Amino acid sequence: MNGNFSRIVGTGSYLPAKVLTNHDLGRMVDTSDEWIYTRTGIRQRHIAADHEATSDLALAASRNAIAAAGVRPQDLDLIVVATTTPDMVFPSTACILQSKLGVRRCPAFDVQAVCSGFIYGLATADQFIRSGQYRHALVVGAEVYSRILDWKDRSTCVLFGDGAGAIVLRRGDAPGVLSSHLHADGSYAGMLSVPGTVCGGKVSGRPLLHMDGSGVFKFAVRVLDEIVEETLAANRLKKTDIDWLIPHQANIRIIHATAKKLGLSMERVVVTVEHHANTSAASIPLALDEAVRDGRIRSGQHVLLEAVGGGLTWGAVLVKW
């Protein structure tokens, strides 16, 4: 399939203007900056304004990625949005984003894999491009987690923030996305969930985030180690061949554990959790955009993206920049 490889040719991100610091949270719930930072590595998070929907955050990030790629919205052949917090039940946030971009006719759909959503979305778009069907694809991770948090539960409300990140993929002759590896185990569904539904116009259950923190931590450290080994083996690479690790920004302890397993110094790990917190599907593209724009990621480098999310889902994508 000569010529049917996908490369990331543009990145973009957006963070809402409002910043909520740990000190601010200390006035809302029984916590402190020291308590949060020592356990999570988080200092602050961004919170969407009342008028901002997930599609609005996605739009701003997408425009930045499209501009960086040097293409027009009309050049897009596919739009994939990874989100756990869609604008509404339906239509998809991807279709709403498509309209806001002024694009018509190209396929647009959402992917729901929680914090692994961007990895799932990137893998999906890559396969469409490899098939030869499309030339340009927009992949977005966008979330407004502030609206599904219990702001009285210090074990969860301190962890999350709002934001969006996006990439543009282009078909080319040289491999950019080298491989993708996706997994899920639904038997762990209750470990991380928002157990609420809408029926007859009324909310049933509790539509706020529930998490078994210690259970997720143990699971994440184990499967991230496994997915790294799987990815390296598939590409016949050694751990020392990885130039940059861009993990899901959930918790600095998980990030440290994953880097240690890889034998990577933290200087080779892109960390944004301190100022973004956990933005779920948006966290990897947000971190990727930051590292691309500040010049850390350069041509020819191997970049490993990996995440664990509700489902439980997990996955990795290896990229040659």
The secondary structure element, H or E, covering residue 143 is strand 136-144
The secondary structure element, H or E, covering residue 157 is helix 154-157
Residue carrying structure tokens 């990331």: 8
Q: How would you write 6-72 as a 3-class SS string?
A: EEEEEEEEECCCEEEEHHHHHCCCCCCHHHHHHHHCCCEEEECCCCCCHHHHHHHHHHHHHHHHCCC
Query: What are the tokens at 129?
Result: 């491009």
Helix ranges (H only) for 236-270 are 252-262
Amino acid in the structure at residue 4? N
CA 257, CA 177: separation in Å to the nearest integer? 25
Cis ω for the linkage preceding 57 (within 30 of 0): no
- By annotation, the residues acting in catalysis are 115, 248, 278
